[in-house]
């Protein structure tokens, strides 16, 4: 869902830039920021969790940013950041490239040193944060695009830019499952746009094409977890491949297809059961939402993965949330990390 924080929420005006520096370094990545407008600094940060990717919007007074190797070692989310500059102009330097971007798109890598500067007045950007491993393009090829001014007013760039702006405006009113679906669309559009900048993706090596297929199937699974009929055969059919080909693609993955489906369903149910806003819904209804047709089977799988029953997890999570809010109410909007279940069993390839 959407989270909007503005500098005006900070009491003293002279504290606003310090708040901005701390927020960026803590919630995005460690970076050194400076400005000549500390006395009247203004900024707002909007964040939208889209599942596989995150969408952020930043509006701020002119700043300079510098991320060194020391900053990278201190903290690296290992993201590619594809930013649309919607107001003002930004100078970006990374990997030997240097560009001034105004109204266009620019790609940066959090794992590399970089420098940025606002040129002129207020700056506004919309940023899609993409985990490196989620982008089905080889790193060597993508690196060619870092810190280059990429057109956002024609072709796939215009389509992608319009989608980001619409998602930022309307996304906060969408349900979490809708946002996860939109996250998959955003990733697909970003991949198509970057591939177009690099040339025909069909010319990529077989390994890159296989990686793209795996990521596409992962997104299909995430978008269809609520379907109790989601099986490896259904996935293979929907992607125009044999079941043997599907198993081959996932042969070197940490989990088999069936185990991946079960893990993702349990993770979604685990999160929903811990959500206070859903405490009025029964455990069985939450299980059914994520594709579990049997209440007994869900309870058994949940206990095997997490060591407690769904009811026990819900009760302890709600108590912990109330206790945390009582001790520090200002922290209630922060996201809580999820405990991932452990799986070893799964499907086997046909003979």
Q: Which of 234, 134, 238 is nearest to 184 (CA)?
A: 134
Q: Provide the β-strand partners of residue 131.
A: 79
**Cα–Cα–Cα angle for 341, 282, 346, rounded to 5 degrees:** 30
Contact 208, 247 (CB under 8 A): no
pTM: 0.62
φ, ψ dihedrals at 196, nearest 5°: -65, -35
Residue 217 to residues 22, 120, 180, 234: CA-CA distances in angstroms? 38, 44, 15, 11
The backbone torsions φ and ψ at residue 143, rounded to the nearest 5 degrees and listed phi first, read: -60, -25
Distance between CA 53 and CA 1 in Å, rounded?
13
User: By C-alpha distance, which of 37, 20, 139, 10 is closest to 78?
Assistant: 139
Which of 145-159, 247-261, 317-331 has the lowest average pLDDT? Answer: 317-331
Is the predicted pLDDT of residue 332 greater than 50, yes or no? no
In this prediction, residues 260-282 reach a mean pLDDT of 91
> Over the stretch 25-36, which tens digit does the pLDDT of each residue have?
888 899 999 999
Q: Are 85 and 101 in contact (CB under 8 A)?
A: yes
Contact by Cβ (8 Å): 292, 265: yes
For residue 253, the model assigns a pLDDT of 80
- Predicted confidence at residue 113, as pLDDT, reads 96
- C-beta separation of 111 from 172 below 8 A: no
Q: What is the pLDDT of residues 34-88, one digit of tens each?
A: 999 888 888 888 889 998 899 999 999 999 999 999 999 999 999 999 999 999 9
pLDDT tens per residue across span 197-240:
987 444 455 666 677 788 888 888 888 899 999 999 999 988 88
The alpha carbon of residue 256 and the mean position of all alpha carbons in its chain are separated, in whole angstroms, by 23
Tens of pLDDT, residue by residue over 114-167, are 999 998 788 999 999 999 888 888 888 899 999 999 999 988 899 999 999 999
Q: What is the 3-state secondary structure (H, E, C) of 16-63?
A: HHHHHHHHHHHHCCCCEEECCCHHHCCEEEEEEECCCCEEEEEEECCC
The HSE-up count of residue 276 (CA atoms within 13 Å, CB side) is 12
The tokens for 146 are 């870092």
Please, which pLDDT band fits residue 14 given cuts at 50, 70 and 90?
Answer: low
């Amino acid at each position: 869902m959407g989270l909007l924080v503005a500098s005006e929420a900070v009491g003293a005006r002279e504290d606003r830039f310090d708040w901005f520096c701390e927020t960026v370094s803590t919630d995005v990545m460690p970076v050194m920021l400076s400005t000549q407008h500390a006395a009247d600094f203004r900024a707002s940060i909007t964040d939208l969790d889209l599942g596989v990717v995150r969408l952020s919007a930043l509006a701020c007074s002119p700043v300079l940013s510098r991320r060194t190797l020391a900053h990278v070692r201190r903290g690296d989310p290992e993201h590619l950041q594809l930013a649309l500059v919607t107001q003002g102009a930004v100078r970006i330097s990374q990997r030997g490239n240097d560009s001034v971007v105004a109204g266009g798109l620019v790609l940066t890598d959090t794992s590399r040193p970089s420098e940025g500067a606002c040129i002129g007045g207020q700056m506004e950007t919309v940023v899609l944060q993409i985990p490196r491993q989620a982008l089905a393009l080889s790193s060597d090829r993508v690196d060619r695009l870092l810190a280059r001014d990429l057109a956002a007013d024609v072709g796939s760039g215009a389509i992608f830019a319009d989608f980001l702006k619409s998602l930022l405006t309307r996304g906060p009113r969408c349900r979490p499952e809708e946002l996860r679906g939109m996250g998959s669309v955003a990733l697909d559009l970003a991949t198509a746009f970057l591939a177009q900048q690099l040339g025909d993706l069909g010319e990529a090596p077989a390994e890159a094409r296989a990686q793209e297929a795996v990521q596409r199937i992962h997104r299909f699974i995430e978008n269809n977890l609520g379907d109790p009929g989601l099986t490896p055969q259904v996935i293979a059919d929907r992607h125009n491949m044999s079941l043997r080909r599907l198993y081959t693609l996932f042969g070197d993955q940490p989990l088999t297809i069936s185990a991946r489906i079960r893990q993702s369903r349990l993770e979604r149910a685990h999160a929903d059961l811990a959500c206070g806003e859903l405490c009025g819904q029964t455990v069985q209804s939450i299980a059914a939402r994520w594709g579990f047709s049997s209440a007994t089977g869900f309870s058994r799988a949940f206990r095997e993965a997490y060591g407690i029953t769904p009811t026990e997890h819900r009760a302890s999570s709600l108590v912990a949330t109330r206790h945390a809010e009582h001790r520090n109410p200002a922290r209630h909007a922060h996201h809580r990390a999820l405990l991932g279940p452990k799986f070893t069993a799964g499907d086997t390839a046909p003979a």
